[in-house]
Chains A and B, each alone.
Chain A
Amino acid sequence: MASARAGLALRWCGLLLVASTSAGCVQLSFEREVRLEPVPKDALADLVPGTSDLGTALNRLGPPVFAWELPQQGTALAWGWFHSFGWRLKASDSNKSGVSVSFNYDNAMSHMHGAVLFFDRDWRLTAVREGVLSELRNSSRARPADVEAD
């Protein structure tokens, strides 16, 4: 009986030792991350292409997260947010553990869901698209026009 207990204790100690020594190279983590606020669906539904303009969009949705130029002096404005949670198994790397703690507008778009509003040169809303912002941007982004050209 005593030897069975000792064996069990030994196994637990061994398991803990292995876990302790491998903690630097393998980690099972549960990560929850929230960035910014969700796009208000009801406000988005109120915006009507051909009728709504930039002022209306800003009043309903607040400031966008991103903006970029479109051909024919159009503009795209994007509203988005990010929420993820789940388990991950990480192998050793040189990055600090945990979720990304530095919010960066340049790379935030790749994971954000939201809406992109397209405006013509007179700031009239022409279209609304919803989805992953980076995909919506890649399908619409244009090289900036030469400001010196007429």
Chain B
Amino acid sequence: MRQLLLLVLLSIALPGCYIARQTQNDPLHADRIAQLVPGTSTAAQVVETLGAPTEVVQLGKRTAYRYDYTATKDTGVLLVVVGLFNSDTRADRVWVFFNENEVLTHVASSLHAKDARYAMPWQTIRSR
């Protein structure tokens, strides 16, 4: 009887816990980014290589494109009225800058989406 009561209490007290993963946009590939050559590649070639940008920023007569792929990993523990949650968001990101003739002048990238981690709410996630 006592064990049954304990089971009932536990089933009420621990209604749920979860892990979840979300991504936005398509992953970016280092080999494709490496094909971009400042001073040579045009905006059309960049779009052909990387696809449509996430954002186009007008900078006077110049432009810059942002490409990003975001990964979020969430964990949660629900204890009746107490919830413990952790969320880690990392991104692959590329910025390409063009001059007024739409020729690539600068490119910068970082690929950190794979570093997103699941962690318990009391765990500190450190950058790699």
Contacts and interface: CB of A to CB of B under 8 A. Distances in A.
A30 B119 CA distance: 13
Interface string A56-95: 0011001111011100010100000000000000000000
A99 B87 contact: yes
Interface in A93-121: 97-103, 105, 121
Given A16-B80, A29-B85, A101-B87, A67 B93 contact: no
A32 B15 CA distance: 21
A67 B84 contact: no
Nearest to B13: A16
Q: Interface residues of B: mostly helix, strand, loop or mixed? A: strand
Interface residues of A, number: 44
B24 interface: yes
A19 B80 contact: yes
Q: Which 5 A-B pairs have the closest CB atoms?
A: A73-B60, A58-B108, A63-B108, A29-B83, A63-B95
Interface of B: 9, 12-13, 15, 20, 22, 24, 54-55, 57-62, 64, 66, 68, 70, 72, 74, 76, 78, 80-91, 93-95, 97, 105-110, 112, 119, 121-122, 124-125, 127
